[in-house]
């Protein structure tokens, strides 16, 4: 699993307005009353107010719960009001379930889409508050804020359904972030096939990448936000039936 994608914190401009957090030059953050209202009355979740959370394995998962002929479709960086509905329509057309790795500010801004993802049988994944691909270079306090605040934002937007996985932006995992997520019941989630769709290489190139790199493993990485994703939508429309023709079934990453 190589690191991928975008610059540092490309959702950074949304944080102050959507989360109520002041981001300092050091990368630390200041919790405010607005942020508390968005995710709870304080940065800490009351143990008496929430059901017990079962920790999961701390290792980064790639395997599919469908076994050797299973594939996992994973969709990163949304939800986006233009592209996520189109991705969902294609998944529904082919009867495929996927894992949506959501950025906290995006989930908070589009709770209707988060609820639709859940209602249509897909799974949620925490992809941090602001998609900071250099968060592994920052403090543990900052990593904690990015992961736990996003968890709260996604859970609230979904109507109470918690993320089942945590995917670090750009693969910027640390031992600390993996353990923190796993202790919260979110299995660290990697990928085997990076379609590079965020580079907009064309639908043909995206499809070719999947076909070429699928022997690397079952977890495929696509994006539904961060730019024009028309090529991703078209590529999925071609990749999904091709995978079925090759005898693959669609599952979720094991937990």
Tell me what pLDDT residue 1 has.
74
Tell me what pLDDT residue 124 has.
98
Under 8 Å CB-to-CB from 241, ≥6 apart: which residues?
94
- Residue 204 among the catalytic residues: no
- Residue 223 among the catalytic residues: yes
How far apart (Å, rounded) are the C-alpha atoms in residues 230 and 176?
Answer: 36
From first to last of the 255 residues of the chain, give the pLDDT tens digit: 766 654 444 444 343 333 333 333 223 332 222 233 333 333 444 444 567 899 999 999 999 999 999 999 999 999 999 999 999 999 999 999 999 999 999 999 999 999 999 999 999 999 999 999 999 999 999 999 999 999 999 999 999 999 999 999 999 999 999 999 999 999 999 999 999 999 999 999 999 999 999 999 999 999 999 999 999 999 999 999 999 999 999 999 999
Q: Is 159 exposed, middle or buried (0-12, 13-18, 19+ CB in 10 A)?
A: exposed
In a 3-state reduction of DSSP, which class is residue 216? helix
The domain limits of the chain are 56-251
Check 131, 136, 223, 224 and give the catalytic one: 223
Structure tokens at 174: 């640390």
Angle at 65 between CA 180 and CA 253, to 5 degrees: 35
Tell me what pLDDT residue 3 has.
64
In a 3-state reduction of DSSP, which class is residue 253? strand
Check 76, 77, 136, 197 and give the catalytic one: 76
How far apart (Å, rounded) are the C-alpha atoms in residues 179 and 121?
Answer: 27
CA-based nearest residue to 161, from 202, 120, 128, 218: 120
CB atoms under 10 Å from CB of 119, counted, come to 12
Tell me what pLDDT residue 19 has.
38
In a 3-state reduction of DSSP, which class is residue 6? coil
Sign of CA dihedral 216, 91, 227, 149: negative
Q: Report domain 56-251's class.
A: alpha beta
Strand partners, 222: 75
Tell me what pLDDT residue 45 has.
42
Note whether 163 and 174 are within 8 A (CB). no
Q: Is 244 exposed, middle or buried (0-12, 13-18, 19+ CB in 10 A)?
A: middle
């Amino acid at each position: 699993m190589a690191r991928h994608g975008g610059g540092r914190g490309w959702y950074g401009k949304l944080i102050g307005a959507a989360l109520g957090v002041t981001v300092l030059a050091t990368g630390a953050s200041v919790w405010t009353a607005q942020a508390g209202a968005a995710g709870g009355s304080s940065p800490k979740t009351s143990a008496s107010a929430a059901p017990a959370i079962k920790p999961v394995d701390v290792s980064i998962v790639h395997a599919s719960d469908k076994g050797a002929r299973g594939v996992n479709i994973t969709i990163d960086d949304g939800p986006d009001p233009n592209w996520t509905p189109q991705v969902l329509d294609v998944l529904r057309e082919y009867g495929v379930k996927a894992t949506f790795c959501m950025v906290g500010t995006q989930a908070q801004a589009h709770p209707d889409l988060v609820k639709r993802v859940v209602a249509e049988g897909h799974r949620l994944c925490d992809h941090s508050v602001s998609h900071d691909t250099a968060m592994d270079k920052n403090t543990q306090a900052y990593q904690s804020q990015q992961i736990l605040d996003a968890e709260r934002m996604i859970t609230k937007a979904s109507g109470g359904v918690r993320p089942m996985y945590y995917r670090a932006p750009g693969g910027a995992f640390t031992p600390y972030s993996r353990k923190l997520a796993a202790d919260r019941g979110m299995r660290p989630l990697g990928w085997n096939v990076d379609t590079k769709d965020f580079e907009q290489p064309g639908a043909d190139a995206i499809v070719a990448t999947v076909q070429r790199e699928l022997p690397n493993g079952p977890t495929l990485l696509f994006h539904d936000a961060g730019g024009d994703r028309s090529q991703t939508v078209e590529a999925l429309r071609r990749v999904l039936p091709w995978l079925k023709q090759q005898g693959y079934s669609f599952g979720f990453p094991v937990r």
